Structures are given as structure tokens and as C-alpha cells.
Amino acid sequence: MSKEYTAINPADVPAKVLRSGDKLPTVGLGTFGSDRFTHEEVADAVRNAIRLGYRHIDCAAVYGNEKEIGQAIKDVIAEGVCTREDLFITGKVWNDRHAEVEKACQETLDDLQLDYVDMYLIHWPFPNYHAPGCDGDSRNPDSKPFSVEQFMNTWKQCEALVDTGKVRNIGTSNMTIAKYEVTLPLMKILPAVNEMEMHPCFQQQELFDYCLKNQIQPIGFMPIGSPTRPERDVAEGDAVDIETPEIQAIAKARGVHPAVICIKWAIKNGQVTIPFSVHPMEYLSNLTSSFTDPLTDEEFASIKNCECGSRLVKGQVFLWEGAKHWKDLWDEEGVIAQ
């Protein structure tokens, strides 16, 4: 690997300072391999990405690959590439473990072979569960609408993990402003981050601004629109970010792939981004994009025109009986749908 590619100095990668004072590198490696890559292929990407300069790895129990990733992390530390303290590792509690967060977190720690994770997120703000690999029409009859009481019970368990030292920061994922409005006042430890879908065709400006106002660092997933996302998340009319005229024009002028422009947009926008790839050339390019040749103000402004409200992860498999539309999951009317 080192003979084929030149490693990046991790110190060159910008970082965001969280409310705890911890530093979060602005580009991390996502580890959701969808249905296209084996767990070992994803783990190999983690292993080599760290060798090439990555220090931020975004994991989740539901991805099913934490044991393999744990071995990869152990390997690079043993090689002397980095220390544990150099890494920022994120884990997430899946929907069916909301009542047993400590147990779920300990399983993640055991699989990752770590004493602590730097960030632990509530993956979705409700305990609605679907079987791994289900299709987009699947529905669980036990699914329920968002409950403040249930969410806060889960959040308090996350807060307790901070007290034990097993978790350094806690945060949310797939939240909405309406849900924050009723939960933030009840929290003892406020969220450090919110992971949310963000790409040029789905910029979520209102939620983005809300998070920043409340010292919640936005982390954007699917930064190039995830062309390899699962089939259940593909719908007619979905935008393709790398094919938009604005992105293609900038990419052509710069002589780079349109995906590079999407990453540069995310960085200039002020978010942390976690693109996934198992190809060294791609994930090295993503990391390099965080600090080289930033977009000009004019280029950045032109990408604002890509916004077309194209949410790609609609979450319809989490809908409850009586829900009218997948938009009910996202409180688009400004109130929590029931």
C-alpha cells in the first residue's frame, strides 16, 4: 500500500472542535458497505485508510462488520501507524437495542476491541426495527411514532455511558428540528453531533443552521448521493448529484471527478463528511479534498442551485401503522407526526 500511494499527514486534515473539546476530523471513512462489499473488504479499507492518514472511522452495529473493523484497528495500532488516542471512532445503538444501550455499547466495544468509543449515536430516534436486508415495502407491525419518553429513556442511558468513560461524546442521527425542540430541554448532556443526509441535491439548510445554532456539529452522510445505496433506497425521480450541470461544470474546469467537487462542497459548507469507499484512490482523494484547492466562493454559490429536496434515504421501512407517508418520519410540517 505505501509503495502505491503516498500517505497524508493527519495533521493536514482540518478538524471541528466539539463541545467537549475533542477534535473531529472533517473527513471520516464511512463503513456501511451496503450489499456490495464483504465485511472483510470494508475492514481492509479501514486498515489501509488509517495507514494513508485517516483518523476518523464511522461505525455502526447494524452494519454487521464491527468485529472485522476491530481487528483492522488493532492491526494498525500494533504496526505503530497510530495510537488509539489518535483515532476518532464512532459507534451507534441500533433501533432494537434502545432499552439496553449499555449492553449494546459493550458489544460494540468488544467487537471493536476498544475500551471506549469517541462518539456513540442513537442511530434513529425511535425503536422501529426492520430485518437486515429487507425490501422497501417491508413494515413491522410493532413500529410506533416518535415518543419523547422513549427517546429520553434511551438518551439517559447514553448519558450514563459518558459517566462510565466507555463513551466520550454522544449524539444523534436522523433527527428533526421538531424532535430536538421537545428533547433538548430535557437533556443533561447535549448532543455533540447530528448525522444527517447532506449532499448538493439535499442540503437541509434549515436543520443544518439549527444544529450549528445549538452547538451540534452536523455530519453529512451520502455526500455524493450514494450511487451504490441499497435498492430499497432507490426511487424514481431521485437526483444524481454528480450529474448535475453545476457539479459537472466545476469538475470539468478543474479536471477532476465530480465526486471530488461534492466532497469539497461539504467541507466549505462547514460540515463533517463520512464518504464510503473500498478503493484506495477514492478514499485517499476524499481525504486530500479536505485541505487542497478549496472551492471558490463563486463555485460554492453555484452549487446552492443544485438543491432540489431529493432525500435519498426516505426510511419508509420504519413507518408505523396509520402513517400516511414516509415524510411523516421527517416532520416536514414542523410538528412531530403521530
**What is the Cα–Cα distance from 189 to 337, expressed in whole angstroms?**
26
CB 31 within 8 A of CB 62: no
**What is the Cα–Cα distance from 52 to 175, expressed in whole angstroms?**
33
Of the candidates 63, 116, 120, 210, the residue annotated as catalytic is 63
Concatenating the DSSP letter of every residue in 82-95 gives --GGG-EEEEEE-G
Q: Which amino acid is at 184?
A: L
Segment (H or E) for 48: helix 39-51
Any catalytic annotation for residue 116? Answer: no
Q: Residue 214 half-sphere exposure, CB side, CA atoms within 13 Å?
A: 22
**What is the Cα–Cα distance from 183 to 164, expressed in whole angstroms?**
23
**What is the Cα–Cα distance from 218 to 212, expressed in whole angstroms?**
7
Q: Which residues are marked as active site?
A: 63
